[in-house]
Amino acid sequence: MTVPIACVLLIAAAAMYLFISERLRMDVVALLVLLSLALLGLVSPQEALSGFSNEATITVAAMFILAAGIENTGALASVGRLLGKSRSPTVFLLLLFGVLAVVAPFVNNTAVVAVFIPLVIAASRNIGMPPTKALIPLSYVSQMAGVCTLIGTSTNLIVNSVARDLGHRGFSMFEFLPLGAICWVAGCVYLLTLGRWLLPERSNADLPTLQESGHYVTELRVGPDSECLGRTVEEAKISGKYHVYVLELWRGAERQWSPKTQELQEGDVLLVRGRWSNLERLHQELGLQYNRAARKRGEEPDMDDPPEEHKQVLAEVMIAPNSALLGHRLQAIDRRLPRESSILALQRRGQIVREHLQDVHLAVGDILLVLMPEPQLQGLRSNANIIVLSERAAPLSKGWRAPFALATMALVVASAALGWVSIAIAAVAGAVALVLARCIDLDNMYDAIDGRILLLMAGLLPLGTAFSNSGAAQFLVEHTLGLVGGYGPYVVLAVLYLMALLLGEMMSNAAAAVLLTPIAVSTARLLEADATPFLIAVTFSASTSFLTPVGYQTNTMVYSAGGYRFADFLKVGAPLNLIFWLAGVVFIPVFWPF
């Protein structure tokens, strides 16, 4: 092993550890990788910065704008309203899968799932089907459909770009379609049969207006007329009668270390956790007041607010995966809400909040319960930082702009598929057209571009170059896949697919694609075979993640919205991963011979 190979492998191992442990944000890790490669001389300055001008990076940025333009015009919501016409669970799922097969190959699947989550929840309840039977399929099928085209996911574009840099011919727009169609059909059949039986069935019939997907944390203030005054938490039977758990008790700025035994006083603030129906019952019957978290810092909550002129509604909003609010306190979202709005409660999957809501740092999938004037709810839906989950009518199509946005996307795809212009140029032209047509304004355009994904791509693409130039890829192949090389290319393909699948579940799909694409090319050279089937295996395995709720952004979104458990993804996703693995091993050599 040479020194350059050792350095590249060390950098890759450190990056993998940071991605899996999530000690640093993925875009920061990518920039650290770029700097390490450049400072150690493993890539030239031009190669280190080449990711920022790479065709894949530019295409992904333009596709974010195109997807946001289509979403903003209501075009996706118009298609999604077809779901409301279903009359049975089977017809509903078939219609959902069909719509996703048309939309997801060309529109960013994160945007698709964001639009469809409230539609699927509402339609499911209308036909008497638990939303838990439809939200995981929504995420999975959007991934299955997205892998059918070159622009369906950013991972496809990354593999294509790195492969071209390594001397491969690259892939055409619909080259993935034959295998993608087979996997889509097999996956849909599974989700309609065995998968449907494995999906959890959890009812929330006691909530007529909200999708009660889990336990909220909220702050309740003891007022002068509260039934709790002079009584302890245990005496008030907050846990036994109302099924609400008291997490903390604050008296002024002081935290009481034994909240259940303290006699409650006026002004005490209880941090409590429970289902929203139980929290609301506690609030009404014991005369507790919501300690509204969305007030400006330093401003005391006004418990005697005058009645609002408009009807007040409760809205569930989820923090989107590409939100600019991530890592910020609740005050950050306060600036993006109407002044009359108040954040009443927070729901966080897999973690119990034990601090003042004002001090909580927002994370992907957090669900907030917001009290706001009804007329303001429509404007909330256009905020790219959040996803509205409450069951309200979807935004209406904005006249001619909805068909114009769809036609622009179709022209972008056709231009690239027919070879008229490169994918990057076609995508940029389409994005400019939507901006000029005011399908999306400039502020929303910048919000739509997920800078972290672009930095991740730009920072990691030089790592693929370093793997190839230093010989690290060849070294890894000889000491891993090379050990099974004697069993033939079919076995090597199966092992490579499985390696990419497991790596993609543990870390970023983009990172897994960058690491494994040079390995796929080197594997082909070792076996003296065509690199295409091995690259296809990396593309499909890295672009589809079914095993965990954190393996892919859309999984995280439905995990929070549907109130799933981690084990639900393991139970439903493991057989689906096995199906895709078998389909890949069988059909990849058929369509792309060794």
Mean pLDDT, residues 544-550 taken together: 82
φ, ψ of residue 528 to 5 degrees: the values are: 55, 45
DSSP 8-state secondary structure symbol assigned to residue 362: P
Please enumerate, as own/partner, the contacts of 465-469 that have beta carbons within 8 Å and a separation of 24 or more.
Answer: 465/43, 465/47, 465/50, 465/165, 466/8, 466/11, 466/37, 466/42, 466/43, 467/8, 467/12, 467/515, 467/518, 467/519, 468/165, 468/166, 468/518, 468/521, 468/522, 469/42, 469/43
Distance between CA atoms of 254 and 350, rounded to whole angstroms? 27
Residue 311 has pLDDT above 70, yes or no: no
**What pLDDT was estimated at residue 209?**
40
**What pLDDT was estimated at residue 433?**
93
Q: Which amino acid is at 314?
A: L
Distance between CA atoms of 190 and 581, rounded to whole angstroms? 14
Distance between CA atoms of 62 and 427, rounded to whole angstroms? 5
Distance between CA atoms of 288 and 520, rounded to whole angstroms? 62
**What pLDDT was estimated at residue 537?**
93
**What pLDDT was estimated at residue 308?**
44
Residue 80 has pLDDT above 70, yes or no: no
Residue % of the chain over a pLDDT of 70: 87
According to the 3-state scheme, what is the secondary structure of 408-447?
HHHHHHHHHHCCCCCHHHHHHHHHHHHHHCCCCCHHHHHH
**What pLDDT was estimated at residue 78?**
62
Mean pLDDT, residues 73-80 taken together: 68
**What pLDDT was estimated at residue 77?**
64
Mean pLDDT, residues 136-164 taken together: 89
Residue 339 has pLDDT above 70, yes or no: no
pLDDT in tens, 162-206: 888 888 898 988 999 999 999 999 999 999 999 989 998 765 433
Instruction: Provide the pairing of β-strand 367-373 with 312-319.
Output: antiparallel
**What pLDDT was estimated at residue 10?**
92
Residue 31 has pLDDT above 70, yes or no: yes
Q: Which of 239-248, 327-336, 422-431 has the highest mean pLDDT?
A: 422-431
Distance between CA atoms of 132 and 129, rounded to whole angstroms? 8
CB 369 within 8 A of CB 343: yes
Higher pLDDT, 56 or 376: 56
Q: Which residues contact 46 (CB under 8 A, 6 or more apart)?
A: none
**What pLDDT was estimated at residue 295?**
43
Residue 226 has pLDDT above 90, yes or no: no
Residue 305 has pLDDT above 60, yes or no: no
Distance between CA atoms of 118 and 153, rounded to whole angstroms? 23
**What pLDDT was estimated at residue 350?**
60
Confidence of residue 139 (pLDDT cuts 50, 70, 90): very high
Distance between CA atoms of 335 and 325, rounded to whole angstroms? 11
Task: For residue 25, give the 3-state DSSP assignment.
Answer: coil
Residue in 502, 475, 435 with CA at minimum distance from that of residue 20? 502
**What pLDDT was estimated at residue 523?**
87
If phi over 0 gives left and psi between -120 and 50 gives alpha, with beta otherwise, what is residue 419?
Answer: left
Q: Which of 4-18, 322-336, 359-373 has the lowest mean pLDDT?
A: 322-336
Mean pLDDT, all residues of the chain: 80
CB 149 within 8 A of CB 174: yes
Residue 112 has pLDDT above 70, yes or no: yes
Q: Which residues contact 399 (CB under 8 A, 6 or more apart)?
A: none
pLDDT in tens, 439-476: 887 777 877 787 777 888 888 888 888 888 888 887 87
**What pLDDT was estimated at residue 526?**
83
Residue 225 has pLDDT above 50, yes or no: yes
Higher pLDDT, 132 or 323: 132
Q: Which of 30-34, 350-354, 438-442 has the highest mean pLDDT?
A: 30-34
Mean pLDDT, residues 577-589 taken together: 93
Q: Which residues contact 564 (CB under 8 A, 6 or more apart)?
A: 132, 135, 136, 200, 549, 558
Q: Which two tokens stand for residue 124?
A: 């499911």
Mean pLDDT, residues 117-130 taken together: 80
**What pLDDT was estimated at residue 141?**
94
Task: For residue 319, give the 3-state DSSP assignment.
Answer: strand
Task: For residue 221, give the 3-state DSSP assignment.
Answer: strand
Residue 298 has pLDDT above 50, yes or no: no
Taken in order 59, 60, 64, 66, the sign of the CA dihedral is positive
Mean pLDDT, residues 512-518 taken together: 86
Rounded to the nearest 10 degrees, how much is the dihedral formed by the CA atoms of 50, 54, 56, 58? 120
**What pLDDT was estimated at residue 589?**
94
